[in-house]
Structure 1
Amino acid sequence: MNIGKPRKIGKTIVEIEEGESLSLTEVIEDQQILLYLGLTNDANPLYIQHDYANQTEHQEPIVPSIMLTGIITSAISKHLPGAGSHVVNLSVNFIEPVYHYETITFTFEVIKVDKMKEVVTISVEAVNLADHRVLDAVVLVQPPKKLIKGGNEIE
């Protein structure tokens, strides 16, 4: 299956340096949450029912944790290292709940480049507008490799 036009691959293991970073900001909208819930058939009332959530410690619906994880893996696929990357390990600590319509800033930093194992370790921290950490993560990623066709590298 070939969807869309061929895309340039992201940075290879030799092009990535420790200390490289990326920051991105996301506003979590109801539409995104409803799409996620529809795709996964997840009917957890904590995510969408105000009357239920109001009776919990959260007081209002929260964003599904896996959606936040999806933002992390999507940024890795799109930006650092970029297209062609593969997440091989992901460890996330959800520190505080994220609520609907919150603005979250994710900061990614390459903390280790292991050329022997051909993986990079990326540290992720996410904070809300009140500057409270909502999650920390460590992601091991296999960066893309240059493709060879007919003895020549292709982009």
Structure 2
Amino acid sequence: MILGKKRETPREWEAVSVGETDEFLRRVEDRDVLLYLGVTEDTNPLFLQSVYAEQTPYGHVVVPPGLLLGWVTGRVSKRLPGPGSRVVGQRITFPEAARHSSAIRLRLKVIGKDDGRHQLTLEVIGEDEDGRRVIDGELDVLGPPPTNRLFRDAYENF
């Protein structure tokens, strides 16, 4: 367990199929932005200082693009394809700036599966509640490695 949360059980590679999707909603909260900025030491006033941000063409404080990408890669590790997977490539754009306090709907979709390389291509789309695209692109993801069934649940308490 990590901080009281039970880990997801790794999925078998064969269980992942092209066309499979995972969609989730995240509301951007101050704590999310502050934690991200603290970890990355990003001091861009556009992400935190409303007086500054209101004077820019955006007119408001915006969400760091890396935070959005972090939510996406976290979901890759948790759900699609799941624990043990690893992002190895990305082609991502951030067409519109997401606003603080906005609700962001993020969707991952398997658009390619290479059994020989044990790799997936995932389409990534994220939109705010106004339908503005705030993240768009693709990820290359190595699927979870096969595990020894005897020890499959051995990591559960870590």
Q: Between Structure 1 and Structure 2, how many residues are aligned?
A: 152
Question: Kindly tell me: are residues 59 and 120 of structure 1, through their superposed partners in 2, closer, same or farther at Cα, counting changes over 3 Å?
Answer: same
Q: Provide the residue aligned with 2:109 in structure 1.
A: 109
Per-residue CA distance 1:82-116 (angstroms, 9 max, x = gap):
11111111121101000100001011110011001
Q: Could you say what the CA RMSD is over the residues aligned between the two structures, in angstroms? A: 2.0
Structure 1 residue 153, shift from structure 2 partner: 6.8
Instruction: Compute the TM-score of the two structures, normalised by the length of structure 2.
Output: 0.88
Contact 2:8 2:82 in 1 (8 A): no
Per-residue CA distance 1:7-45 (angstroms, 9 max, x = gap):
454323322110000110000001110111111111111
Q: Provide the residue aligned with 1:89 in structure 2.
A: 89
Q: Provide the residue aligned with 1:124 in structure 2.
A: 124
Q: Provide the residue aligned with 2:152 in structure 1.
A: 154
Structure 2: which 5+ residue stretches go unaligned? 154-158
Contact 1:122 1:138 in 2 (8 A): yes
Q: Provide the residue aligned with 1:37 in structure 2.
A: 37
Q: Provide the residue aligned with 2:16 in structure 1.
A: 16
Instruction: Compute the TM-score of the two structures, normalised by the length of structure 1.
Output: 0.90
Greater mean deviation of Cα atoms: 20-29 or 133-142: 133-142
Please tell me the residue identity of whatever aligns with 2:117. Answer: K
Contact 2:89 2:141 in 1 (8 A): yes
Q: Secondary structure at 2:10's aligned position in 1?
A: coil
Higher strand share: 1
Contact 1:146 1:153 in 2 (8 A): no
Contact 1:126 1:136 in 2 (8 A): yes
Q: Secondary structure at 1:147's aligned position in 2?
A: coil
Asked whether 1:77 is paired with 2:77, we answer: yes
Contact 1:88 1:140 in 2 (8 A): yes
Q: Within 1, Cα distance between the matches of 2:144 and 2:9?
A: 7
Contact 2:53 2:60 in 1 (8 A): yes
Structure 1: which 5+ residue stretches go unaligned? none
Structure 1 residue 55, shift from structure 2 partner: 1.1
Identity of aligned residues (%): 33
